[in-house]
Structure 1
Amino acid sequence: MLLSLLLLLLLVRASQASHFLGTMMTYYPEETFADGSVSVILRYKLNFVSCVDSDAWQCNGNCGAQTQTLGLSVVQEVSGEWCQREGAITRLLPNNTGFETLLAGGDWINSIQNGIVSWRAVTAVEMRNRSDIGKPNTSPQTTILPALRIPSNCAKNINLLAFDPDGDKVRCRYGNTSASECDPCTPPSVLSVSSNCSLPFSPTYSNTELHYAVQLVIEDFPTQNMNLIQTDGSQVVKTTNDAISKIPLQFVLKVGPPVPSCEDGAYLPRFLPPTPENRAQLFAPAGQALVINIRAEATQSVITGLLYSGPYNAVKNSSGSGNFSLTWTPSASEDGQSHPICFVVQANYSNTLLHSDLRCVIVTVGNSPTTTPIPIVVSTNQTTEQTTEAPTTTTTTTTTPIPIVVSTNQTTEQTTVAITTATTTPTTLASTEANVTTSAPGPQYIIALNMMISTTLSLGNNSDYIITLIKNKLIEKGLPSTISLRLLSSGLVAVTTASP
């Protein structure tokens, strides 16, 4: 009898072994009631080799009652490699004391190089009322694919998405074994982590595929000292050095054989417009479909598909090699929430799978904020050519108003700019404000372009996204794709063109 029981335990253990590829969890407070009780929704993703594998989160502390559970729904499955599913749990807490959730079991997939066998992930949920925003805390928002691929000879940065709806400072670190945040927490030898959630990869030049378990903890820190106020009136001070909450982010890094070139767009897919920039913030009113168009190229490999992580009911479509779209229609219950979507484009070279850089966007459910006019000036320092000779030919100038429209999915922003073209010898270039002057036969330059854009975005908080929109529109109007833009301290946007 004892032998039979032992064999049964071994069989159960074998059926659970070598199939885990990580997890993540975020949380969003829902409602605070008159009696002091609060409700919170926890969203999580489980990554296993197969869609039949599973595990359950356990609750410790002020767990209250589990009032609703959204069963696991498949986000995306890559047959024989991984399956990501999304679930949600709603809890009604008797008061706003925090609690922890724990996911623990075994084992990770085979051949993990950094010695991780069992899985363990912890979420610390903070529900006390914040004195700075007058409501409970929302965790950082993030997501990740179960596995990311990097060739062993390519130095790359994995730029993770870590966004906080409360405006807190978000920091990333590896899990701590002494804090029981993983079991164990040995970091991958090929990756380092910065507090701004960038993971630089150090090339290994290995000819075989190597797997590493990446076990991260993401925390939010207030931007100024504030108090956490409990239902009974007691308060705790949180400084800018004190984490408010923490969430896990775990996945597998697959380091593959070397490629002949690490340049994006050759063997490794490169994103092209109209793909949103990394960390772009999009808006989608409840009940209305948001379409994210994604385009990529790889001249020396074959693009085979789009891999993504986001809401389980997002729909992927393909319209030819390198052209994809993700469509998501948020529900009314998600109004006011922010949802991350991350994706890579996958290619095949000589039976080796390759990934583009990771790109992520943040989708806020609801109408965009009230539009505010933001004056933006685009200029360059390239006001003269290398020679100082005066022009020797007659200049013919024509001016044509060209409308420039910048779209942010939720609002159309339009301005009309007068563009002046001039035919001169390639010497000095004269210019006037609000004109774009070009010389023939030499290259084209923007000398000064004065634009007024009505936008829903804050220049201080969304400068990268605004600059990207301007750049894409300038490229559409004929400027080279090599132009680069940067924000000046005065609020101006400077444009430069790379040398041929």
Structure 2
Amino acid sequence: MNSIVLLIFLYGLVYIVDANHFLGGTITWHVLNGSATGTPIAIVITQTYSWTYSLITCTNTQIATSQLIPVGGAYTRLLTETLDCIANCASGTTGYVAPNIVPRCSDISIPLGITIGQRSDTVFLQSGSDFSVAYQDFSWRSLVVGAAANWSISSRINLTPRSDNGLYNNAPVATLMSPISIPRNQSIAIHIPVADPDGDITRCRWSTSSNGVDECRDTCSPNSLPPNTVIYPNCTIIIIGQTVGDWFAITLMVEDFINLSSTTPLSSVPVQFLVQVVSPPTCTILPEVIGIPVEQACIPVIVGQTFNSQLIAINNCGSNVTIVDIATLSFAGMSKGNIVRLNMTTYYKTFSWTPTTNQLGIQVQCAMAIDRRKEDVRKK
């Protein structure tokens, strides 16, 4: 029987600039065999992290061949760091062997100065396992909250059989490109794209450090964010930056629930990213991204068979502005062509991907077009 990967396309609508070192990430997991009922259970843990391109540099060849991100100097510690248990470790983690942190090259954008890496590892756990894992390190770039804030990106893994069907749960998949820039003194809505393999109800909340689970270390929201920043259960954040040049780390958790009335999450996955406050751009019309397939399409892809797609970007700011990249946050092994200018307003980029067994489940691709003039870089 063919193994199916579900591929979801999401195109963002915010601004973006480059930054330093670690830029955020997310951790999710799913059961390898969705109909499994016995023990031990094989689960696939997927880690996605973003870095500064000038410090950790991948190439298109390394992306196409799923090579580990090249690290050296101050970042050689990545080679030995692991996704460690941080809560309920004594009894809830039987069989857990912590996977490495260092990811495989998945995306780059030289105009934005970002490198994105992802890795998926299979671990074997006992039925009833319920514990939290985290990637903890130092430090974020200089933030309003502090010059050398530490991070903790934590995910809760829960393999208690579900009460509705007796099967094991699969965690939500959520992702967002980082860093994002927001115009000063404007109310900006940032929506976190979320998908759930089981079709469960999903809700977002701020990350916390409580009850022995540290989800955010020095950047727990909303205390680390501008005044009156709020998050809604539908995973929309409303934020107003007041001072140009301020940087903030946004840390949140996405949780799935068995039904609308439930207040007990089945699992928790993190989303962490950076925000910078910038001066408002002269042209406020963002470039468009048109996908083939279209935005929010959910496409079944068979393991071992090549899937081809194309993204088209439209410039809406006249001849003084050019689109310099169609940047993506995708997954290991996706080959990407160079951006091609079709005419004065239209650009495109092609993609090709052959999924592997380790990539079974939901894979989400985010994309944006970046246009440039002399003074600013913007994205949709």
Shorter chain as normaliser: what TM range?
Answer: 0.7 to 0.9
Query: Residue 189 of structure 1 is aligned with which of 198, 214, 226?
Result: 226
Separation in 1, partners of 2:256, 2:37: 28
Q: Is the 8 A contact 2:83 2:101 kept in 1?
A: no
C-alpha distance after superposition, 1:410-448 (max 9, x if no partner): xxxxxxxxxxxxxxxxxxxxxxxxxxxxxxxxxxxxxxx
Separation in 2, partners of 1:288, 1:105: 37
Measured after TM superposition, the shift of residue 142 of structure 1 is 1.6
Q: Is the 8 A contact 2:293 2:309 kept in 1?
A: no
Change (3 A) 1:298 1:95: same
- Secondary structure of 2:103's counterpart equals strand
Change (3 A) 1:209 1:269: farther
Change (3 A) 1:103 1:135: same
TM norm structure 1: 0.58
Q: Is the 8 A contact 2:151 2:216 kept in 1?
A: yes
When structure 1 is superposed on structure 2, of 280-289 and 246-255 the one drifting more is 280-289
2:123: which partner in 1? 91
Measured after TM superposition, the shift of residue 157 of structure 1 is 2.0
2:256: which partner in 1? 220
Q: How does 1:53-452 map to 2 (within 5 A)?
A: 53=75, 54=78, 55-59=81-85, 60=89, 61-66=92-97, 72-79=103-110, 81-110=113-142, 112-115=143-146, 117-152=149-184, 154-179=186-211, 180-184=214-218, 185-187=220-222, 188-189=225-226, 191-202=229-240, 204=242, 206=243, 208-223=244-259, 240-262=262-284, 264=285, 268-272=286-290, 276-277=294-295, 279-286=296-303, 287-300=305-318, 301-317=321-337, 318-320=339-341, 322-335=347-360, 337-356=361-380
C-alpha distance after superposition, 1:461-497 (max 9, x if no partner): xxxxxxxxxxxxxxxxxxxxxxxxxxxxxxxxxxxxx
Measured after TM superposition, the shift of residue 334 of structure 1 is 3.6
Measured after TM superposition, the shift of residue 131 of structure 1 is 2.9
Measured after TM superposition, the shift of residue 71 of structure 1 is 5.9
C-alpha distance after superposition, 1:326-364 (max 9, x if no partner): 3322224544x11111111111133311111xxxxxxxx
C-alpha distance after superposition, 1:226-252 (max 9, x if no partner): xxxxxxxxxxxxx61111110111011
Separation in 1, partners of 2:191, 2:204: 11
1:15: which partner in 2? none
* Structure label with greater radius of gyration: 1
Q: Is the 8 A contact 1:257 1:352 kept in 2?
A: no
Q: Which has the higher contact order (CA 8 A, sep 6+)?
A: 2
Q: Is the 8 A contact 2:132 2:155 kept in 1?
A: yes
TM norm structure 2: 0.75
Separation in 2, partners of 1:28, 1:311: 16
Q: Which amino acid aligns with 1:195?
A: P
C-alpha distance after superposition, 1:101-121 (max 9, x if no partner): 1111111012x1234701012
Separation in 1, partners of 2:288, 2:187: 16
- Secondary structure of 1:322's counterpart equals strand
Percent of pairs identical after alignment?
20
Does 1:19 pair with 2:21? yes
Separation in 2, partners of 1:70, 1:104: 10
Q: Which amino acid aligns with 2:349?
A: F
- Matched length: 316
- Secondary structure of 1:343's counterpart equals strand
What are structure 2's unaligned runs of at least 5 residues?
A: 1-19, 57-70
When structure 1 is superposed on structure 2, of 268-277 and 345-354 the one drifting more is 268-277
Separation in 1, partners of 2:37, 2:267: 25
Q: Is the 8 A contact 1:69 1:90 kept in 2?
A: no
Q: Which amino acid aligns with 2:238?
A: P
C-alpha distance after superposition, 1:78-112 (max 9, x if no partner): 458332211122111133322221111111012x1
Q: Is the 8 A contact 2:132 2:156 kept in 1?
A: yes
What CA RMSD, in Å, does the superposition of the two structures yield over aligned residues? 2.7
